[in-house]
Structure 1
């Protein structure tokens, strides 16, 4: 945790930060696991050129893998917001490693959200990319 201008955060502030991160994590999970079909958590899903070039069959496998992703650890999810994952799918007999990342924007997708826990003010952007495109 970060220290404030007035010193270390209080236990109440720490609890509030953890609860907020957990709420954002739950919203990110709902968006990701429904592939954006839960309209109470608005957002978009995009892919890089490298992922687009993998083809339709790979896209189906990628979608399923992202929806089923549960491998969150302290290393890949230190804040509990569940906004990043590394996974692999088979494409034409070859194992392909990919990343997914959720960024939180304002309603116009121009700036970061000023209240990431409020789905009325926040739009999620889930990006699928190859590690070399990161």
Structure 2
């Protein structure tokens, strides 16, 4: 954990809960779900709070695993530079960072 971790966590939580302030990417497996299943999954991602040292070792709230109706899904937040060509030089700086939240079936990982 660094001195920037609390701010990274705050920004990740705000983005994940609202889907505002970054890009949300659904894999083909998630896009193929029925509308009701896909909406339930998106609600589950937004509401996710089951962070622990196993799924959040850096305390940034950037990954989660969800079981939904017998299927397992993962979501992951990555930090890119403003042009989305490489990693962000500072994930706490919104002008330098573009967040991408990818939601996938576990088998697509």
Say if 2:99 is the partner of 1:112: no
Say if 2:42 is the partner of 1:67: no
Tell me how far apart the structure 2 counterparts of residues 61 and 88 of structure 1 sit (CA, whole Å): 11
- After TM superposition, the score normalised by the length of structure 1 is 0.77
1:54 is matched with 33
Taking only aligned residues, the RMSD between alpha carbons, in angstroms, comes to 1.1
Tell me how far apart the structure 2 counterparts of residues 49 and 111 of structure 1 sit (CA, whole Å): 23
Tell me how far apart the structure 1 counterparts of residues 27 and 42 of structure 2 sit (CA, whole Å): 14
Q: CA deviation digits over 1:53-89, x for unaligned, max 9? A: 1121111101110011000001111111100000022
Cα shift at 1:20: 0.5
Instruction: Report the number of matched residues.
Output: 109
Tell me how far apart the structure 1 counterparts of residues 71 and 66 of structure 2 sit (CA, whole Å): 8
Q: Note if contact 1:35-1:63 (Cα within 8 Å) is conserved in structure 2.
A: no
- After TM superposition, the score normalised by the length of structure 2 is 0.94
Q: Note if contact 1:48-1:129 (Cα within 8 Å) is conserved in structure 2.
A: yes
Bigger relative CO (Cα 8 Å, ≥ 6 apart): 2
Structure 2: gaps spanning 5 or more residues? none
Higher Cα Rg, which structure: 1
Equivalent in 79, 88, 91 of residue 58 of structure 2: 79
